[in-house]
Amino acid sequence: MFRKPSFRRGLRDGSVIFVAVGAFGVAFGMLAIDAGLTWWVAVLASVLVVSGAAQFAWLGLVGAGAVPVLITTTGLALRHVPMSARMASLVGRESLRTRLALAWVLTDETFGLTLSAARRGEEDLVAYKAAVDIQLYSGWMAGTAIGVAVGSRFDPTAWGAEAFFGILFVGLAAPLVRNRWDVAVGAIAVAATFGAAALLPDAWRIAAAAAVAAGVGTVMPNE
């Protein structure tokens, strides 16, 4: 797999994820230390969970008990239902071991790049996504390690992380827009996000917008 052209292209395309996700890993590590967690708990969370959204939500609720954390992370994780269904259709018939490996690092970033690769006709999506996953995972681990090392010496909000996160997703989504139906789905997703922000708790906003966009994208015709 490591010598396949698809794997090399995945490493190349995933380099931007390594940098971007690594920056958020640094922020998570610093905030984890600032929240009173030990360094090994913060690192272990990144090793096992591999979800920036869930881990940042966990930090915000670390003093509220287990139930709020479970409810919040469940709401955030619901967006993976349509994502995993779409990914399963892309990779086709693969072994259970391969599917589990691909599902473990199924994030918004890796999903977006893999979907874009599928649309341009990438020959081996399994190898491509594996490479992208490696870039994201290694960036997240490295960033977390740096973050816990420097502790709370710096203020992550001073980096403008929120704006950078949005810009990252716009960049990932842009190559997927090929016709007016894609534009319509994107516009509806944006509208759903604003609607969810006005009506729903924080944890359910992303899942609601993703569900609406996925449903609309399924029923809309393609040009």
pTM: predicted TM-score of the whole model, two decimal places: 0.70
User: Do both 120 and 181 map to the same domain?
Assistant: no
Position 10 in a domain: yes
Position 166 in a domain: no
Position 170 in a domain: no
Position 163 in a domain: no
Q: What pLDDT is attached to residue 68?
A: 64
Side-chain-side CA neighbours of residue 192 (13 Å): 19
The angle formed by the CA atoms of residues 132, 159 and 58, to the nearest 5 degrees, is 65
Return the minimum-mean-pLDDT range out of 67-81, 157-171, 183-197.
157-171
Q: What is the mean pLDDT of residues 195-202?
A: 70
Domain count, the chain: 2
Position 182 in a domain: yes
Q: What pLDDT is attached to residue 134?
A: 95
Q: What pLDDT is attached to residue 9?
A: 92
User: Do both 150 and 184 map to the same domain?
Assistant: no
Position 205 in a domain: yes
Checking if the pLDDT of 144 tops 90, the result is: yes
Position 191 in a domain: yes
Residues 198 and 202: their CA atoms lie apart, in Å, by 10
The model's pLDDT over 34-80, given as tens digits with 9 standing for 90+, comes to: 888 888 999 998 998 888 777 877 776 766 666 666 666 676 677 77
Checking if the pLDDT of 131 tops 90, the result is: yes
Q: What pLDDT is attached to residue 100?
A: 87
Q: What pLDDT is attached to residue 56?
A: 77
User: Do both 138 and 221 map to the same domain?
Assistant: no
Q: Which range has highest mean pLDDT (58-72, 85-99, 134-148)?
A: 134-148
Position 110 in a domain: yes
Checking if the pLDDT of 222 tops 60, the result is: no
User: Do both 93 and 197 map to the same domain?
Assistant: no
Tell me the two tokens of residue 128.
């491509």
Residues 21 and 27: their CA atoms lie apart, in Å, by 10
The domain in which residue 219 lies consists of 177-223
Q: What pLDDT is attached to residue 23?
A: 83
Burial (CB < 10 A; 0-12, 13-18, 19+), residue 142, is: middle
